[in-house]
Amino acid sequence: MRCILAGAALLVAPAAAMATMSGSGDKDRGFDFIGRLLGALQGIGWLDWILIAAGVLILAFLWWQDQIRPGSLRDARVRTIQRGDVWIFATGALVLFSATYLAGGLAGGFLDWLGTLGRWKIGPTGRAAAVNAIVYGVMIPASIVMLLMTSRAAEPSKEDTLGASLRGSDLWKGGLALLAIVPIVMGVMSFLVIVFSKVALGLTPAPVAHETLEVLIEEGPRTWKWWLLAGGAVIGAPIVEEALYRGLIQSALVSALRDRWVAILLTGLIFALIHMPVVPWHALAILFALGVAMGVAYERTGRLWLCIVIHAGFNAINLALAMWGTSGG
């Protein structure tokens, strides 16, 4: 399934369904609701149903094992975050966020200047790809350095409070976590957004819900621009974004609020909302759900690179599905 749900849909959908079926008590409206619901369900393929069922089973297992219940993270001691560390992590997040946008502005301005000189005319897509490469080329090492600096500042006696050093186990554990997360996010959540959109709103969400994916589909994998953009999506964005959101912002919120679940949910919301300029409304929930899933994984393992692997794998899957879908597969 290639659609995604807005986080509010989980709360709004039941109310919208009841309002549709009650109101004036008109039976025709009730039958119309049932017809749209059946139509939405008929549009779901058998492979999608398998993914949905797997997602439900995984959620039930995690609940049974007390991994995702409210309060289940209260006694987690994998990461030691002190109350006074909030300013260290918040400052690091602000610097990293500002530096990323500054790097993008400077890179874009430099390329535009070259264009005015007639030395390098590459078009809008080429410009975006080049800016992408420059920004991530600068910000990947900057993100790692920032993580290590804030980690050392927060806990001088420990070298890696934020789990920013790469271990071999992060790769295979991240891969296993991705296998559990995909059915939940791309199965259960996508199912909910399809039903909500078609039944409550009468809309069919777009199958491709990200500007970068649209550009990559249009460009095709035979140009250097495609490879730079794809590399940014699969490698650059996961490293920089996880350093910022999970590594620094979530850690700052844990330090300030002393409640890991609230910190995870708020970080997931920030992570989703920051993507609003490049995704439609129905794509926000997959980002929220993905952010929450990675936040839980972070608090359970203390390993930031495990979250980076999850994020990279998720982006790679979406890219592969988008390219495969447009190739007639």
Q: Does residue 3 sit within a domain?
A: no
Q: Does residue 140 sit within a domain?
A: yes
Q: What is the CA radius of gyration of the chain?
A: 21
**162 near 151, Cβ under 8 Å?**
yes
Q: Does residue 107 sit within a domain?
A: yes
Count how many domains the chain has. 1
Q: Measured in Å, how far apart are the chain's first and last C-alpha atoms?
A: 14
Q: Of 244, 327, 233, 312, nearest to 279 (Cα)?
A: 233
Q: Does residue 4 sit within a domain?
A: no
Quick one: how many helices (H) and strands (E) in the chain?
A: 14, 0
Could you give the CA distance from residue 140 to residue 99 in angstroms, rounded to a whole number? 11
Q: Does residue 1 sit within a domain?
A: no
Q: Does residue 248 sit within a domain?
A: yes
Q: Does residue 2 sit within a domain?
A: no
Q: What are 211's two structure tokens?
A: 């500007």
Q: Residue-wise pLDDT tens for the chain (329 aa)?
A: 434 333 333 333 343 444 444 445 555 566 566 766 676 677 677 888 898 999 999 999 999 999 998 888 876 667 878 888 999 999 999 999 999 999 999 999 988 888 887 766 788 889 999 999 999 999 999 999 999 999 888 876 666 778 888 899 999 999 999 999 999 998 888 778 777 776 666 667 777 778 888 889 888 888 999 999 999 999 999 999 999 999 999 999 999 998 999 999 999 999 999 999 888 887 888 899 999 999 999 999 999 999 999 999 999 999 998 888 765 55
DSSP designation for 113: H
Question: What is the domain extent for residue 46?
Answer: 9-326
Q: Does residue 169 sit within a domain?
A: yes
Give burial (CB, 10 Å; 0-12/13-18/19+) of 36. middle
pTM for the predicted model, two decimal places:
0.85
